[in-house]
Chains A and B, each alone.
Chain A
Amino acid sequence: MTKGVLLFCFNTENTKYHTILEKCVHLIKKNLQLEITVVTNFETYDALKPLGFINYKFIDPELGNKKNGNDWRNVDRHRAYDLSPYDTTLVIDIDYFPFTDNLRPLLDTKYDFLISKEAHDITNRNTFDLRRFSLIEMVWATVFVFKKGPVAKRIFDMIKYVKEHYAYFNTLYRIRSKNFRNDYAFAIALQQLNGFINYDTIPMKLPTLPPDCKVTEFTDTGLVWQNQTSFGFTSNQDVHVLNKEIENV
């Protein structure tokens, strides 16, 4: 049984995602100690510094999605099943920094698909509780684990179907964001496929730093952040950083 981490990374005009990837890869190697495969394009690959032993899969990212008016190359996540070379795969966003080995054991379960439903706002403002306008509970496609087999295959086929008809599902579920969001596509697919009832989840709130918090320092064990009114730090705790200015830290 092979196990590894799958990452997606595509630079855009506004964000040098490759610098974020470099930080993430370093922490995966240090703390998760798993093989890594990066799905990217040649343009992004050329910008990367040497990262040691890493597998690369080159694709042309699907374009057209936007976030705050900027190009957002997040649409290819539904291809994770086909792109992963592993029997069991941990997919994480490159802006999720594993400062611990907490995610490592999740590759050793019997579950075919696991995803997190909850995030913890590390600024303690419960920012993410506001995402309840829609008729469906959002999941966080930031971190998920799947085991290749018929169950996971069905889930990814369903995610593809939801993606192809996203405008319809977006309206059906009264989702406020009109752009394509993996979080909702995964949530819809899982709900549809599981008979509109619960599905298996990771019992862990993803520690998340909201977009108004700028990271000012980044070390091997944690980071320092600040926003207009306060500042704080993390230590030996995974963090999902939503402010993309971390590319410059």
Chain B
Amino acid sequence: MNIGELKKQSDLSYDVAVAKRNELEKAHARQVVVYNEHIFKADPLTINHVKNLSELHSSPFMVLDSNNNPVQIDDPKDFLQVLVERNQESLNSYHQVFKTFAKKGD
């Protein structure tokens, strides 16, 4: 591979990295959900926390929202479903775009 092709590959890698970071930010923005009038991020930390509490603690239980304010969760199953659905919606969207990145690297 000559230097011109390597340069081209480098530029392509950079463009893909920029696009990936952007898609990731897009997914993070999409993971912001409002539940019980409070804001949460449908990220792995929140999902696992709620899942653990729902298994280890009887409802209702308390969690912190994105501004560290306490929120009572009366229906853990419903809350978990909201979180998981939004998390998977955002990551599925990321995955669709990610597949196109992979093709560009061929």
B residues bordering A, Cβ < 8 Å?
Answer: 15, 17-19, 21-22, 25-26, 28-30, 32-34, 37-39, 41, 66-67, 69, 93, 97
Contacts and interface: CB of A to CB of B under 8 A. Distances in A.
Given A106-B34, A106-B39, 14 more contacts: A105-B34, A109-B34, A110-B37, A124-B17, A124-B18, A124-B21, A124-B22, A201-B67, A203-B39, A203-B41, A207-B26, A235-B97, A236-B26, A237-B29
A102 interface: yes
Interface in A10-42: none
B38 A109 contact: yes
A205 B26 CA distance: 9
Contacts of B33: 105
A232 to B, nearest CB: 7
Contacts of A235: 97
Give the 4 A-B residue pairs with the shortest CB-CB distance, closest first. Answer: A105-B34, A110-B37, A203-B66, A124-B18
Interface string A185-209: 0000000000000001111110100
A83 interface: no
Interface of A: 100, 102, 105-106, 108-111, 114, 120, 122-124, 200-205, 207, 230, 232, 234-238
A200 B37 CA distance: 14
Nearest to B71: A110
Contact of A102 (B21, B29, B67): B29
Highest count of chain A CB atoms <10 Å: which of B18, B26, B28: B26
A124 B21 CA distance: 7
Nearest to A104: B34
Contacts of A230: 15, 18
Highest count of chain B CB atoms <10 Å: which of A100, A106, A204: A204
A203 B41 CA distance: 8
Contacts of B97: 235
A104 to B, nearest CB: 9
Contacts of B39: 106, 109, 111, 114, 202-203
A106 B69 CA distance: 16
Contact of A205 (B28, B66, B93): B28
B22 to A, nearest CB: 5
Contacts of B21: 124
B18 A102 contact: no
B83 to A, nearest CB: 13
Given A108-B37, A109-B38, A201-B67, A236 B93 contact: yes
Highest count of chain A CB atoms <10 Å: which of B33, B39, B66, B97: B39
